Structure 1
């Protein structure tokens, strides 16, 4: 899966002020990321606010991104949930011809045991017609996918090819990198520690900030992959304040305000999320203005 080495971006779903999907803005966001040099695009991840989209809206977003991308970059589709049978049914019925792989989140809310997590992904691996990238984000799922479970899945299923690791735990990331099979991709799901994970042997990142600053962030990751450490950390430190800010009041409220500052899309989010407060908006505006000089 060489196509998933480097920077992938978890695309937002832009809304108009009336909360309808802004298709023109979605065109701009996709092209901005591609023109900025990212390696691949992730469709319908958490950052897309997919929990607040109807099924028809999801299909509209997916079809629009496929059309705008027009085969230029690999696409990864988010297909996950806490109802295993429902996820398996989608895998059996959806057309994946436009997609390189799926990104599948560890079951949320149910809080399964490690054996339950293994059996969930076993069912997904056996049903999926495309490679599977696991997604561990305990801050959202309320349960951590242990490295031993990941290693077990990686060894048992050839089509389980990687993990987006977003526990925010560098020690856990190191344990994964050390113990997974040679070609298994450990992908950072945390923008702030993406570079350290790459330098430790990780394959890259699925990023939020990377769609707001695609040129700078993707080049930083490429520098890290090429072991140009000092140059890479210059960009890390330039972007670190903004990385903190875009998550300060929730994702994707922060990155959507970056898009508003860039003139690419409105900062509207759907309830229960709300737009960033004025004080944070001012700080983000100042950062973007300075970055554009």
Structure 2
């Protein structure tokens, strides 16, 4: 699935001051990424505040982004959770005609066993008409998809094509890269580790900071995939400060503050999240100034 090699971005959901969706800002964000080298777009992931976006809003977001995108970039849609039956119903009832793959997070809160995780994704794979990217993010789900479970799923189901690995665990990345089937994609979900993963044989990243700095970040990943470490790390070192800052309070408050400073969207988030503090916003503005972005 070469369309998912490189940099995908986990799009925010921009909000107006009244917390309704800001479609003008969303259009600017999508166009900005298309014009500056992003390889694919991810809709309704964690960064998109999916847990506070209603089902009706989610359908509207997909339709709007597809309309703006005009088939220029592949689209990935987040459909996941800890109620397997509900996920199956959502897949069956969602218009996926403009969607190229589904990103499905490992069940959170319930803390299933590895066999439970396997059976969860087995059930999803058996009904999904689209390729599936597994999403492992132990810091949010309170459980880890172990490499042997990921690889078991990869080998048993042709439509499970990749894993977005976001455990910030270098050893786990390397174990997946060492043992994966040849055509299975290991996608970094950790912006700070993405270059190292690409250099080690990974397929790229689904990034948060990438949507704000798509030209620089996507070029860094392309250089990494090509094995050009020196040039890639030159970009990585420049991006390190801003990448660290956006996760220092909560995601997506940090990235929304960056996008506000770039005049793309506002920094509003829905509760229980709160906006970045003035102190963090000041640090973000300074980091952007150093990068020549303000």
Query: Normalization by structure 1: what TM-score?
Result: 0.99
Shift, 1:201, TM fit? 0.6
1:216 and 2:216 matched: yes
Question: Which residue of 2 is the match for residue 63 of structure 1?
Answer: 63
In 2, distance between residues paired with 1:85 and 1:153? Answer: 19
Question: Which residue of 1 is the match for residue 12 of structure 2?
Answer: 12
Query: Normalization by structure 2: what TM-score?
Result: 0.98
In 2, distance between residues paired with 1:281 and 1:137? Answer: 26
Shift, 1:191, TM fit? 0.2
User: What is the CA RMSD across the aligned residues, in angstroms?
Assistant: 0.7
Question: Which residue of 2 is the match for residue 236 of structure 1?
Answer: 236
In 1, distance between residues paired with 2:23 and 2:199? Answer: 37
In 2, distance between residues paired with 1:67 and 1:272? Answer: 30
1:180-224 C-alpha deviation (Å, 9 max, x unpaired): 100000000000000000111100000000001000000000001
Question: Which residue of 1 is the match for residue 276 of structure 2?
Answer: 276
Give SS of 1:235's match.
helix
1:260 and 2:263 matched: no
Question: Mapping of 1:13-92 within 5 angstroms?
Answer: 13-92=13-92
Question: Which residue of 1 is the match for residue 176 of structure 2?
Answer: 176
In 2, distance between residues paired with 1:125 and 1:145? Answer: 16
- Structure 2 unmatched runs, 5+: none
Question: Mapping of 1:116-265 within 5 angstroms?
Answer: 116-265=116-265
Shift, 1:292, TM fit? 2.7
Question: Which residue of 2 is the match for residue 288 of structure 1?
Answer: 288
In 2, distance between residues paired with 1:228 and 1:183? Answer: 22
Shift, 1:238, TM fit? 0.4
Shift, 1:96, TM fit? 1.1
Give SS of 2:247's match.
helix
Shift, 1:3, TM fit? 0.2
